[in-house]
Structure 1
Amino acid sequence: MASRSHRKPPPENSNGSYHSKRRIPYQLKPSALLSHTKRRRFNSNSQTVTRHTNNPSRSNRFEPFRSSSKSRRNNRDEKSIRSSIIEDCSSRTWTFSSTDCSNSQDKVVVVSYNILGVDNASKHMDLYPNVPRSFLDWDRRKGLILEEIDNYSAGILCFQEVDHFNDLEYLFQNHGFKGVYKARTGEALDGCAVFWKDSLFTLLDQEDIEFQRFGLRNNVAQICVLEVKHDELESDTCALTEVTPSTRKRRFLIGNIHVLFNPNRGDIKLGQVRLLLDKAYKLSQKWGSIPVIIAGDLNSVPQSAIYEFMASSKLDIQLHNRRNISGQLDIESNNRVFRSQIGDEASFSMSISRRVLYQWSIEELRLATGAAGVTHLQHHLKLCSAYSGVPGNNRTRDDIGEPLATSYHSKFMGTVDYIWHSEELVPVKVLETMPIDILRRTRGLPTEKWGSDHLALVCEFAFANNGNVS
C-alpha cells in the first residue's frame, strides 16, 4: 500500500522508485529535541471516557504481565487477566488546557482517525499476527468506530484509509453527519473523508488535491470551509446587542491528508505537505483569513523535519537527508524499541549533523519545494500542535508533548497522526492516547474495543477571538 502507514520499502531503484509494500518501524525519540519546541511540564488533569465498563479505569494500577509456556494459570485466571486488559484498554482520558474557555459559546470537537482500510488490512496480514481475524472484520470494525465516535460528541471527523465510504456515509448520516470523500488516484482503493455534524455546521467551500497532478504520487488531501450554525433565537439576541449577526459568523478551514509512506522519498512527502499548506492558506485568505485546522496521518514522527516544517513554518532542506525527512529508520522489524538519545552525546551528534549539507538533485528540489533551484521551504500558516499545546503525562506523551504512540502493529509502535491549528483557535481539551504500558499489553491493534491499528486523535477547540477565552 503506497500510502499505508508503516510499511518497509525495498532499496530504491536507480530511478528513485520502489515497489515493495512492507513496513518498517519508526524511531520514537529524537537524537535531540527540536530547537523551536519547548519542553512541556506534564500534569494529570484529566477526565475518563470509558467504553463498555461500569468500573473505573485501572490503568494506573496495571502491573507488567508476561506470558510463559510453563505458566500454570487455569482458564479462569487467563480469562480474568484478559478481562483486566480489556477494561484498561477500553478507557481513554480527557486532559484539559489551563486556558479558561468556560464562557466560550463556539466550540468544535475535531477527530483525526486512520481507520485502517479493508483492502490494506487484507493484503498485510503479517502486521497483525497477534490479532484475532474476527477483530479485522470490517462489519465488526465499522460498528466499533461509530460507537467510539459517539462517545466523543464530535462535530468534525477527518478519516484516512477510507475504502468503504458508502458504509460510513450510511452509518454517520443516521447520526446527523454529512460527508465528502476523495479517493486516491491510481490503483489504490482507499482515500480520505471529512464528515461534519449537519446541525452544527454548513459546508461553504471544498477543494480536493490530487498530488499526482503535481508529480507527487497518488495520495490525496481535502480542504473544507465550514461555518458554525446559530439558531434564530441566538441571532435575534445578537441583533439586540452590539454584536451583529454578521460578526457572529464563525468560519474555519479543515484540511485532511494522508501523506505518502515511503521513507526514501522525503522530497515527495515534503511536496505533499507543502502543497496542502499552501492551498489551505490561500483558501483561508479567500474567506477572510479564517482559522485553519490540519488533521491527518503524516507518516512522520514528531522529531522529523516534516514536523519541524509544520511547527516552525520554515525548513532548510539541505540540512536533511532526503531518506530520513520523516524520521523513519531502516532497521530490522525485530528491533522495535523506543530509542531515547536525549543528552549531551545526542546534542553533540546533532550539532555535527547540522553542519552537513546534503545533496539534492534538481528534480528532488522541484518536488519538495515546487521550484528547481530553491532549497528553503516556508509556509504562511502559524500552526501549533493541539496535543503539544495541552500538557499531559509521561505515560502517554513524549518530551515535546506529542502522543507516544498513535499506531501499533507487529512492525511499528509510534506517532504519525496529528491535529494542527492556527492561532485563532485554542485547544480546550484533548483525548489522551492509551498509556504506553497498557498499549503494549494488547500485543497490537485492532482489539476487541478499538476498530483500527491507529488510535483516534480528538481535540475540542474554542475560538480565541470571541472575548471569552483567557
Structure 2
Amino acid sequence: MIGSLLFYALYPLSLYLRRRQSVVHGTMACESFAATSRLSIESPKIPPDQRLGQNCLSTEKKEEKMSEQSSDETPDVEQLVCVSHKDTMVEAPSNMSEAQTAATGRREEEKQETPKEEDGNMHSPLAQPSPEETSNEDDDLPIISLMRELDKMESEEDPGNAAACIKHETECWDEYPHLMLPGVTNSNPKQTSLVPNAEIHRDTQIGWHFPAGPGGTEEIFCPLWQFPTMSYYPPRENNATFDVIWRLWQKTSTEHPDPLVPFTKPSVDFTVMSYNILAQDLLEANMELYPHCPQEALDWNHRCKMLLEELQKWKPDILCLQEVQENHYQAQLFPFLTEMGYNCVYKRRTGNKTDGCATCYRSSCFSEVSVTPVEFFRPQTELLDRHNVGIVAVLRPAVYQGSKVAAKGSLLCVANTHLLFNPRRGDVKLAQLAIMLAEIHSVVKLWKDKGEHCNVILCGDFNSLPHTPLYQFITTGELDFQGLPAWMVSGQQDLSHKATCDVLRAPLWPDCLGISDSCQYVTSSEVDASHSPVTMPQASPGGKFHYSRDVLMDLRSCPLSCVGPSDLLLIPGVTDSKPDVSSRNQPAIRFQHVIRHQLDLESTYKHTLAESGAPEVTTLHSEGAATVDYIFYSPERVSDLAGSQFGCKGLKLLGCLSLLSEETLWFMEGLPSYVFPSDHLSLLAKFQLELNTAAC
C-alpha cells in the first residue's frame, strides 16, 4: 500500500521535472539534459497575468510592436529584439548577437546596482550546472531581459489577451509540446515556446492531469494542494451483496461406499433444516432484547426477503420452522414454499398466541403417510398450562422415474416442536418433552407392529443448553430428576444464589396425563391392572415373609391398608380414626424418580467449533448467546454383519452446515442483522437413507 502511494505521488512529479522546458544558449531543451544557469536579473519578477500575455499574442501584433519600438528615437528606451514564432530555434543565435551588442553597456550597470540579485539561481532538480554553461550565462541574460520588457509592454497594452490565456497556462498537462533539443531542428516551430523563468512558471500551476482507465482514455486532475497525499482513483464503493462465507459445509462422513462392505444398497440423500424465524409479534413485544439492531434490520419486509433468499439458497428437502406468525405464513411463506414445490403443515399455538410451527417437505422426494398436531396445553393439569405446540409427521422417501415410483425408503418420523422458554420451569419443559416423545413412540410402535422400521428426526427450539439434564435425557434416554432444581433442567440461567428454588420430585406429572415414566401412553388395561389388589407373598420355608420396597410402597396406597383387623383394640383418638380413602393420592401409574424413553437419538452438531474450540451459538440477543436449537436423529446401527438387515436401520449423517461463535456474531452486529434475518441461526444437516427396491 505504501509503495503504491509513493509510486503515484513521485511518478508524475518526476515526469514534470524531467520534461520541463528551459532555454540553454537560446535553444529550447528539456531540463533533463540542461544544466542550471546562474542569472543576474535586474527587473522585478513579472506577475503571471502579465507574463502569460506573451504566449497569447499573435505573430502580427508582436511584429507590429517591434516596428513601433524601432522607430521610436526616445533616448531612454533602447531598441528591443524578440524572437518571433515564425523564426525557428536555429535562427535564435543570430538575433542574440544584435541584442547582446545593444545591451552591453547597460549590463555592467545592472550588476553594480543590484549585487544581491546576482546570486539568484535557477536550479534544475535533476542536473547540476556545468562549467561551460556557467561561463555562457552572460549570453543568456540580454535575451531574458529583453523578453521580459517586451512581455510587460504587451501586457499593459492588451491586458485582455493576457487574462484570456490564464486558464490555458495555469494547468500542467502530461501532454507537453514537442521540445527542441540542442542540435535538433524543430519541424513544427509553432509548438515551441520560450520559458523565460521556469521557477515563476511552476508557481502558476494549480495541478496535474494524468491518463487513467483502460488504454489511457480517461484523465484525472489532481490539485497541487493534495500533493503528496492525493489519490488518483475515486474511493471504491462496496455495492456488492454480502455473502455468508463463514458458514461452511462440514462433512462428517464419506458419501462413497465403504470398500470393506461386501455389498451396498441403493440410497437417497436428503437435507433437513430447523429454523426459528422469530415471529414479528414476539419481536415487537420484546424490543429490549434487540437494542443493538438497526431499525431496518428489524423490519418484517426486510427480514422476510432475506429469509426467503436463505431458504431458496439452501433448498432443504425437509423444513421445520418455529415462531411462524400465522398471517405471515398465509400471505408470504406458504405461497412461496408452495411455488418451490413444498407441501406444508402448520399448527398455531393455543390461546391468544399468533405464531406456531410449520413442517414442510418436498413433494418430489417424500410422500405423506400421516400428520399429528400436538398441543401441550391441558386444562385439567396445572403443570401443563402453557400454549406450546408441535407437529409429528410420518413421511416415506421415494425415488420417482417419471410418474412411477422406482424405489422407496423406510418410514421417516419428523417431529418439530418449540418448548417453553421460562428458565425457571424445568418441570414444565420435561412434561412437554414427555408428551412429544410419547407421540413419537406411538407412531414408531404402530409401524413396528406392522413389521416396518421407522427412523426418527426430532428438531426444534428446546430452550435448553447442551449437556444439561434435558439434553442428556434426550441423548441418553434416562434422567434421574429426584431433588434436581427446576432451573437446572435447561441451564439457561444460574439461579443457585437464590435462597429457595423449586425442586423436582416424583411423580413428575400427574397420572391423568396418561403417560408413564417411560414416556409412553398407558392403555386402559394397564391402568386397571394398577388398581388391582396387591397379592400377598407366600411364606418362605423359614416361616417369614419377604417384601420388596416397591411392594411396600404399593401397600401404602392400597385400599386394604385402610381396613383394620376385627380384633383391634379400640383406643380413642388412636385406633378409632379411619383414613379417608377418597382423599388419599392413589396414583394409577407407578412413577419413580427416573424417567426414560426407548428412542435412540443423537445430535447432529457437536456444540463446539473444530477450529477454535469455542462454543457454537444458535441464538443471540442482548441478554446473551447460547445453543438452544437442535436436530436429533436415529443414527445408523450395525448389529448383525451377516444378517439380511445389514445397514438397513438408522440414518447416516453426511454433514451439516457449520455454526458461528458468539464473538463472530457480535462482530457482525449481532442478531438479527443485515445478514441474518432472525435472532436464531438455521440448522442444516444432510442424511443418507437406504432404499428398498423390492418393495416396489
Query: Shorter chain as normaliser: what TM range?
Result: 0.5 to 0.7
Secondary structure at the counterpart of residue 151 of structure 1: helix
**Map of 1:449 onto structure 2:** 675
Measured after TM superposition, the shift of residue 362 of structure 1 is 5.7
**Map of 1:231 onto structure 2:** 400
Distance 2:236 2:441 in 1: 53
**Map of 2:660 onto structure 1:** 434
Measured after TM superposition, the shift of residue 111 of structure 1 is 0.3
Measured after TM superposition, the shift of residue 250 of structure 1 is 3.5
Q: Which has the higher contact order (CA 8 A, sep 6+)?
A: 1
Gaps of 5+ in 1: 1-77, 239-244, 333-357, 399-403
Q: How does 1:284-323 map to 2 (within 5 A)?
A: 284-287=444-447, 288-318=452-482, 320-323=484-487
Q: 1:395 touches 1:435 (CA, 8 Å); kept in 2?
A: no
Q: 1:157 touches 1:195 (CA, 8 Å); kept in 2?
A: yes
Secondary structure at the counterpart of residue 443 of structure 1: coil
Distance 2:275 2:296 in 1: 21
Q: Give a deviation string over 1:40-65, Cα, whole Å, max 9, x none.
A: xxxxxxxxxxxxxxxxxxxxxxxxxx
**Map of 2:388 onto structure 1:** 219
**Map of 1:393 onto structure 2:** 610
Cα 1:230–1:465 change in 2 (3 A) is: closer
Secondary structure at the counterpart of residue 229 of structure 1: strand
AA at the equivalent of 1:96: K
Cα 1:461–1:319 change in 2 (3 A) is: farther
Moved more, 361-370 or 451-460: 361-370
Distance 2:628 2:593 in 1: 25
Cα 1:325–1:101 change in 2 (3 A) is: farther
Secondary structure at the counterpart of residue 92 of structure 1: coil
Q: TM-score, normalised by structure 1?
A: 0.68
**Map of 2:490 onto structure 1:** 326
Q: Give a deviation string over 1:389-433, Cα, whole Å, max 9, x none.
A: 9x95144764xxxxx210011112010000000120111010001
Distance 1:144 1:297 in 2: 21
Distance 2:683 2:319 in 1: 10
Distance 1:319 1:79 in 2: 63
Q: 1:179 touches 1:196 (CA, 8 Å); kept in 2?
A: yes
Cα 1:95–1:219 change in 2 (3 A) is: same
Measured after TM superposition, the shift of residue 464 of structure 1 is 5.8
Distance 1:99 1:89 in 2: 25
Picking from 256, 259, 268, the partner of 2:419 is 259
**Map of 2:329 onto structure 1:** 165
Q: Give a deviation string over 1:248-306, Cα, whole Å, max 9, x none.
A: 33420100010001111111100111111121121123233310000000000002100
Q: How does 1:15-164 map to 2 (within 5 A)?
A: 91-101=246-256, 105-163=267-325, 164=328
Secondary structure at the counterpart of residue 413 of structure 2: strand
Q: 2:410 touches 2:455 (CA, 8 Å); kept in 1?
A: no
Measured after TM superposition, the shift of residue 83 of structure 1 is 9.1
Aligned pairs, number: 348
Displaced runs of 4+ in structure 1, greater than 6 A?
233-236
Moved more, 207-216 or 112-121: 207-216
AA at the equivalent of 1:433: L
Secondary structure at the counterpart of residue 440 of structure 2: helix
Q: 2:487 touches 2:495 (CA, 8 Å); kept in 1?
A: no
**Map of 1:462 onto structure 2:** 688
Q: 2:482 touches 2:593 (CA, 8 Å); kept in 1?
A: yes
AA at the equivalent of 1:169: F
Q: TM-score, normalised by structure 2?
A: 0.46
Picking from 583, 593, 596, the partner of 1:375 is 593
Q: Higher Cα Rg: structure 1 or 2?
A: 2
Measured after TM superposition, the shift of residue 178 of structure 1 is 1.5
Distance 1:195 1:285 in 2: 24
AA at the equivalent of 1:177: Y
**Alpha-carbon RMSD:** 3.1
**Map of 1:272 onto structure 2:** 432
Q: 2:507 touches 2:592 (CA, 8 Å); kept in 1?
A: no
Q: 2:370 touches 2:393 (CA, 8 Å); kept in 1?
A: yes
AA at the equivalent of 2:412: F
More helix by share: 2
Cα 1:436–1:396 change in 2 (3 A) is: farther
